[in-house]
Structure formats: C-alpha cells, structure tokens
Structure 1
Amino acid sequence: MRSLLNYATVSLLAVPALAGPILSERAGNNQDRCNHDSPFKNVQIYANYRYATKLQQTINAFNAKGDAAGAAAAASLKTTPTFIWITWTQINYLEPQLLDAKAIQDETGQQQTIPLVVYNLPGRDCAALASQGELQLGSDGIPRYMTEFIDPIVSIIRRYASLRYVIVLEPDSLANLVTNMHIENCANAAATYKAGIAYAISQFQDKNVAVYLDIGHSNWLGWNSNLQPTAELFAEVKKWAGQRTNKFRGFISNVANYNAYNSTTPDKIYGPGPDNSNWNEWRFFRALTPYFTNFGLPTKFIVDQSRSGQINIRSSANSWCNVKGAGLGIRPTTDTGDCNVDAIVWVKPPGESDGTSNPDAVRYDALCGNADAFQPAPEAGDWNEAYIEMLIKNANPPF
C-alpha cells in the first residue's frame, strides 16, 4: 500500500507500551491528565479472530524449531488489537467479527471497540501498483462506492449499535493529492477521492463512531512546504462533507509504514538540512497542529507503530514494501505523552504482505523487489510467514 516520496523510520521510542487487548492506560498517564473524550478511553479494543487464526501457523513454526520464546511472543499477538481492513471483497467478513465482539461484550461486560480501515476508493492508490483496488475511475465509480460499499458498511455497524467503532478512512488517498498530482493517475483521481471521502465522512456520523483521516507520515507530508497544502486540502474535503454538521475525530499517520512515534535523533534517510525538521510522527503532529487550527480542523491524532521497532534499515526513503530488518514496534497504548495524541495503534496487521516480489505478477511493484525489500514475498494482504517471524525477532521493545 504505500505511495511514494519521502519515507523514513525514526529511532527508539521514549513512550512505554504493553501488549494486550485493552490499550495500556496506567495511572497518571496522558489520558487521565487530559480528561478528554478519546474513543480509546475505558474500552477494550477488539482483537479480531481472523488475524489470530493466521498467527497459529507462526506459533507452530516457532515450536517446530524449538523456539519457545518465539512461540510465546507470537501467541501474545493473538490478543494484540490490529485493525480490520474492509475492501470490496472483505465486506462479508465484517459481520462475523462484530458478532464475535458482541458475544465478548455480552459475556464480559467490557465495552468493545472495533478498529476498522475503510479502503476501496475508485482508482485506489494512484501512485502505487501493489494495492490498487477493484473499483475503477469512471462515471459509475463514485455511485458504486457510495451505494455498494459505504452504505452497506454503515448498515452493518448500525445493526451492532452497542459496539463502538474507530474508523480509518482510505489510507494514502488524500496524501497523494498533496504531492503526486504530477502523476496522471492521481490527477485523474483527485475529484473522485475528495467526493468519496467526503461522502464517507457524512455517513459515519453515529455517536459510537470515531473517524480518523489518513495524513501519510512525517517523511511524506511532514516537509515544511507540504504543511499548508495539507491543511488546505483537508479543509476542502471537510467542507464538501458539510462543515457544520459532519465531523470526524482527527487524523492518523504512518499507516503500514516504519516511522517511529517519538525519538531523539532522525533516521539517516531524512537526509541533512532543515527542510524537514519533523523527523518523527510526534514532531509531524506538532507541526501540523497550528495549520489545522487555522482551518478549523480537529487536532487529535493516532499513529500506527506495528512495524516501527527498528531504525536505519532502509537505503532509500522511497522504500515501503516489506522492508527487511523491520521489527514490531511499540504495542498499542493510550499512554502517548501528549494530550492531542489519542493512541498508538497497530493498523497494519504484522505479517500481511505489502506486495509481491514476483516480477511476473500483475500487480508487481518494483519497490517490492528492490534491495530494501524482504524477499520472497506474496501478494499484498497475503500472509508472509518468514516476515512475521523476522518482525517478532526484531521487536522493539522486545518480548
């Protein structure tokens, strides 16, 4: 899934994290100090069983090697919440997981929150190839997106209104419109992306739903020259959605990428010079906040840290596909150290491939076969057993 330009990881995190289905919320942490209405507060984030099922083969693989520590680490991931990705072909998998979450909620009395990624814009991922979607740009693209994708998802989650939902909308899409309009596919997709996301925002308005819009990451939109255009674009989309009546909670960064949340030094691939002083995700959030405030946008954030445990592992800032040497990052937590950062989350389920290293594949992207990429690798979304074992071994913090 990744789109181009300035990619980076960042160094060791100063923020503590604990694995487990309830996001870590220790006494005195930022959630208690801030006392705001975070959708992650006092809830259990659902750990979906489809991901847990995939992990069983990893547990078996470690056991077959006599690696009890690796098996135990893999087993712990079964209860670590990762986001459920809903694409055109995945809608039918949503309701069974909501049934499972509701059963847990009814049995335990613990409020369940479902983490979802809604990911199916027409002409999806205009600057990449590995994860382009099923809906094509054209006269029927947006009507089908609205009536055959967004509307059914809204209908399903409203049937399970006792649950709560955190929704990440369309990773990479709007970020591409900030930096990649020189690419014909992105220029052609611009109006469709804006209209589709605006419609989705307008429909996900229930009180038990919190929506976060994707803002790329610190080494993409974090460059100083990108901050103002980013705020202008998101303000435009908010206006399309209906500025007074349609709201979203905030923004998410680093989806399926490798940048750390907080650090003391930048990764080498940011390069020298002052052009991007926002060399981690927290600095990126701080830099965007005054621009968002000026445009009447929310200033709450979440950040994906599922594969951000290691630094200095890429030779190129453009490398985003199955980066070798990567490790699991800080575990999901609400202890972020910043009142405006709601949570550290795992949006990308570790072990699911970013794209194939097979050059004969229809959706082969050269970045999935470059020197920074772990090989061999299957198609985007498929399970990569060797890769998840590496991520566990390289986890930081370690198990």
Structure 2
Amino acid sequence: AAGGRIPVLVPYAIPDRDCGGASQGGAPDLAAYDAWIGKFAQGLGSGAAIVILEPDAIALSDCLTAPERAARFASLARAGRTLRTANPQARVYFDGGHSGWHTPAEQAAALRAAKAATSGDGIFTNVSNFHRTADETAYARRVLAALGGPGGLGAVIDTSRNGNGAPAAGQWCDPAGRALGRTPTTRTGEARIDAYLWVKLPGESDGCSAAAGSFTPEYAYALATG
C-alpha cells in the first residue's frame, strides 16, 4: 500500500443484497458470487489489506428462508477462506451488525453459522450506521466473547458518521444532525478493537437525500461541520 497505508476493501455483491432495500442487487446466484469472489481474491495482491466482507449479509438475512440463509452463510465462509488463502496478509472481517440491532448472543450465533471464527479474522460493526464508538466497542467485545474461536479475533468499527451518536427512533436513512466520528486508525488503544474505519464514505447517500451510494456534497459538509 502506498505510503504505508492499508487499503480497505468492501465486497458487496451477495445475492439478494439489502433484502430488496435501497441498495438491492448483487450477483444472480451464489455460484456466480463464488466465482466473483474468486476473481476479487486474485486482485488482492500480497500486502496488508482489510476486507469488510459483505455489509449486512449476516445481520440482515431475515428475508431469506432457512435453507437460503444456510446457503448464504456457507458461501460467506467459502469467501473468507478464499480471500485469506489468496493473501495471508489480508484480514477478513465478517458482518457483526451494530449495538442497536441484534443481541450479542444472537449475532454470535449467526456468525458461528457462517463459520466466521475459522474463516475470518474477526467482525465489523456499525457499517453505515451511527452508534457511538464506546457502545460499539462494548458490543463488539461481547459478540467476540460469545463467538469464541481463536484468541486473535478482533473487530473493526465504522466511525464515519457516529460523532453525534445515533438519531432517535432508529432513523438510518441520511438522518440530519449527524457528524464525523473518530478518524481512521489501527491504533485504537482498545483491546480487541483492530481499527476505526470510515467504511461508509462521508457524503455517500443511504438512498433518501439521493440515490443510494451516490455522493452528495451538502451531506458531506453537514457531517464535517457536525
């Protein structure tokens, strides 16, 4: 990575992505997804990298039938193994939801079904959300404790929009009054927290102020000024 920086990569192509929401899409089926991940892995190189594997793919899977959910989780496990085999220096993190969603025990059970402890290097939390870093730190540690697995498993937290915490009533789509959070770093000073990251790019819409994924300068400015 240039200048000693670590690239952060976000594969986001799982079939039935976002359960038909504003960011719906993805590969047509899991066979196509497996092939896509194989090509993605070929481009990882050999240096350090952080891979945020499919935001919401585990926490937001209630729209699937039990067999579909099991098949998705098996595909995610394969993806984790494929990525780590292609580049042992890459750290692959599985979807941990966030502190305002499932309980740590519930999320850990889903992660266990996806074999996250043996197919990845830990979990990510708060992607595209707004919960405060302290809340996410405590939540991530509880999920990891419930998950078990190798002692080296850690967590990364999306701090891109959590400077003012989460809005009331669970609002999630481009809510007003939010602010940038902690700047990205791997030096968190917190046990089991590997990094603070800006996974959701500040100014990128959730689908209300503009099309999902599109950049809105006014929204970016609002986040920057708090």
Return the TM-score normalized by structure 1. Answer: 0.52
Q: Is 2:224 the partner of 1:386?
A: no
What is the CA–CA distance in structure 1 between the aligned matches of 2:113 and 2:60, rounded to whole Å?
15
The structure 1 residue matched to 2:72, chosen from 193, 196, 206, is 193
What is the CA–CA distance in structure 2 between the aligned matches of 1:393 and 1:248, rounded to whole Å?
36
Counterpart in 2 of 1:325? 177
The structure 2 residue matched to 1:345, chosen from 190, 197, 216, is 197
TM-aligned CA deviation for residue 298 of structure 1: 5.5
SS across alignment from 2:58: helix
TM-aligned CA deviation for residue 146 of structure 1: 1.2
Higher RCO, Cα 8 Å, sep 6+:
1
* Structure 2, unpaired ranges of 5+: none
| Percent of aligned pairs with the same amino acid | 30
Q: Is 2:126 the partner of 1:254?
A: yes
What is the CA–CA distance in structure 2 between the aligned matches of 1:253 and 1:211, rounded to whole Å?
13
What is the CA–CA distance in structure 1 between the aligned matches of 2:5 and 2:42, rounded to whole Å?
18
TM-aligned CA deviation for residue 296 of structure 1: 5.5
Counterpart in 2 of 1:316? 169
Task: Give per-residue Cα distances to partners, 1:348-395, cap 9 Å, x unaligned.
Answer: 11011111x3xxxxxxxxxxxxxxxxxxx211111112111111111x
SS across alignment from 2:146: helix
* Structure 1, unpaired ranges of 5+: 1-100, 263-279, 358-376, 395-399
1:210-229 map, 5 Å: 210-221=91-102, 226-229=103-106
- Contact preservation (8 Å) 2:77, 2:119: no
Task: Give per-residue Cα distances to partners, 1:332-356, cap 9 Å, x unaligned.
Answer: 123423221111111111011111x
SS across alignment from 1:326: coil
Counterpart in 1 of 2:24? 132
1:1-399 map, 5 Å: 101=1, 105=2, 110-126=3-19, 129-136=21-28, 141-147=29-35, 149-157=36-44, 160-161=45-46, 163-177=47-61, 180=62, 185-187=63-65, 189-205=68-84, 206-221=87-102, 226-238=103-115, 247-262=119-134, 280-293=135-148, 299-311=153-165, 314-317=167-170, 319-355=171-207, 357=208, 377-394=209-226
SS across alignment from 1:145: helix
Counterpart in 2 of 1:12? none
- Contact preservation (8 Å) 1:122, 1:192: no
Aligned length: 223
SS across alignment from 1:301: strand
Task: Give per-residue Cα distances to partners, 1:48-74, cap 9 Å, x unaligned.
Answer: xxxxxxxxxxxxxxxxxxxxxxxxxxx
Task: Give per-residue Cα distances to partners, 1:89-124, cap 9 Å, x unaligned.
Answer: xxxxxxxxxxxx5xxx4xxxx444211011110111
- The CA RMSD measured in Å over matched residues stands at 2.1
What is the CA–CA distance in structure 2 between the aligned matches of 1:233 and 1:134, rounded to whole Å?
21
- Contact preservation (8 Å) 1:117, 1:167: yes
What is the CA–CA distance in structure 2 between the aligned matches of 1:390 and 1:302, rounded to whole Å?
25
What is the CA–CA distance in structure 2 between the aligned matches of 1:253 and 1:167, rounded to whole Å?
13
Q: Which amino acid aligns with 1:196?
A: S
Q: Which amino acid aligns with 1:213?
A: F
Return the index of the structure with the highest Cα Rg: 1
What is the CA–CA distance in structure 1 between the aligned matches of 2:210 and 2:158, rounded to whole Å?
22
What is the CA–CA distance in structure 2 between the aligned matches of 1:152 and 1:386, rounded to whole Å?
36
- Contact preservation (8 Å) 1:235, 1:297: no
Consecutive aligned runs of 4 or more in structure 1 exceeding 6 Å deviation: none
